[in-house]
Structure 1
Amino acid sequence: MSLGERIALRAMGLLDPETAHGVALGLLNAGLGPRRDPSRSPRLATRLAGLDLPNPLGLAAGFDKNAGAAEGLLRFGFAFVEVGTVTIRPQAGNPRPRLFRLAADQAIINRMGFNNDGAHAVGLRLAARAQHRTGHGDGPVVGVNIGKSKAVPDDDQA
């Protein structure tokens, strides 16, 4: 790890966890995240749900809830990134504090809730991403995790 990376990591550790997460997403969205040249070993290639992927590594939903940093996350070498959880309407999620560091365990407790910009806004971001993609066929996959809005009564869930 470079000196600059160590300083940045230390600075992020001084922020509250949710603010640090937001800063990281903003940097990734701006294209300022680290760039890794993922291994292209044929031994890592896998086929999943009819898609040929360069490796079996993906990022599950929860990190990029609003599809604002998918490209930056794919530059880490993930074969796929799942955004969300996205609900039909925007919602704020749980009240703060809702993200907690467990330093001794090198872990985080996430009680964010389904805070997101809503299906329409996320859909527009994904459509813009699709317009700027070059090439066709298999490549990095961006999936969407969908969830129930708080405004929908439990009896009406699909």
Structure 2
Amino acid sequence: MNIYSLASPLLFQFDAEASHDFTLKSLKTAERLGVLKLYPAPPVCRPRQVMGITFPNPVGLAAGLDKNATVIDGMAALGFGFIEVGTVTPRPQPGNPKPRLFRVREAQGIVNRFGFNNLGVDNLIENVKAAKFKGVL
């Protein structure tokens, strides 16, 4: 059994955006409490070098999940080879009106119409500075 099979029955009880927010808050709490140290180490992969940058593995996290860079260390603990944060704008903005995230269950997909909801670049910079992660960000 993996984390997805454990969490998805709970997360699918709520709308997609509430589940997204809950997941980020839970990851932040697990990070703060040290629970992620109990998570199994990611599999060892052969590092990849691309344009002079060494990635510990080829699987990364794309922008959009952690728009405000609040869970960098939590995502790093899950074993991503690189982490992309944002999208960020110069000033905070709310993004598109809700609802803006929709599940497409029959295709096992999701439609994201968040827009650029974020707390602004100053907030993101402070969160990046506070992160312990020293990998490719």
Q: Compute the TM-score of the two structures, normalised by the length of structure 1.
A: 0.76
User: CA–CA distance in 2 between the matches of 1:84 and 1:62?
Assistant: 6
- Which residue pairs with 1:98 in the alignment? 100
Partner residue, 2:12: 13
Alignment counterpart, residue 67 of structure 1, candidates 48, 51, 69: 69
What are the Cα deviations for residues 57-111 of structure 1, in whole angstroms up to 9, with x where unaligned? 1111001100011111112211101000000000000000000000010000000
Whole-angstrom CA distance in 2 between matches of 1:74 and 1:13: 25
| Rounded Cα–Cα distance in structure 1 between residues aligned with 2:98 and 2:53 | 39
Matches within 5 A, 1:96-135: 96-129=98-131, 132=132
User: Which residue identity lines up with residue 37 of structure 1 in the other structure?
Assistant: A
Please give the secondary structure, in 2, of the residue aligned with 1:108: strand
**Residues 115-152 of structure 1: CA deviation (Å, up to 9, x unaligned):** 000000111111111xx45xxxxx5222xxxxxxxxxx
Q: Which residue of 1 aligns with 2:91?
A: 89
Shift of 1:40: 2.1
Alignment partners' CA distance in 2, 1:71 and 1:82: 12
Can you give the 5+ residue segments of structure 1 that lack an aligned partner in the other structure? 134-138, 143-158
Q: CA RMSD in A?
A: 2.0
Percent identity of paired positions between Structure 1 and Structure 2 = 40
Counterpart-to-counterpart distance in 2, 1:36 and 1:93: 36
Matched, 1:140 2:128: no
Deviation at 1:7, TM superposition (A): 4.7
Say whether residues 1:40 and 2:44 are aligned partners: yes
Distance 1:8 1:57, change over 3 A: closer
- Verify the 8 A CA contact 1:36 1:77 in the aligned structure 2: no
In the alignment, structure 2 segments of 5+ residues that lack a partner are none
More strand, by proportion: 1
Letter in 2 for 1:90: P
In the alignment, the residues of structure 2 paired with residue 86 and residue 35 of structure 1 have an alpha-carbon distance, to the nearest angstrom, of: 30
Residues 119-128 or 7-16, more deviating:
7-16
**By percentage of residues, which structure has more helix?**
2
Specify the structure having the higher radius of gyration (Cα): 1
